[in-house]
Amino acid sequence: MKIRFLHGFENDLKKISDKKLAQMILQSIAVFESANSLKEISGIKKLKGHPNAFRYRKRKYRIGFFFEEDTVIFAAFAPRGKIYKKFP
> Does the predicted TM-score (pTM) go above 0.75?
yes
What is the residue-level pLDDT of the chain in tens, covering all 88 positions? 899 999 999 999 999 999 999 999 999 999 999 999 999 999 999 999 999 999 999 889 999 999 998 899 999 999 999 998 988 8
Q: Go through 35-52 and write b for each residue having 16 or more CB atoms within 10 A of its CB, e for each that does not.
A: eeeeeebeebeeeeeeee
Domains and CATH numbers, the chain: 2-85 (3.30.2310.20)
Angle at 60 between CA 48 and CA 75, to 5 degrees: 50
| Straight-line distance from the first to the last Cα atom of the chain, in angstroms, rounded to the nearest whole number | 21
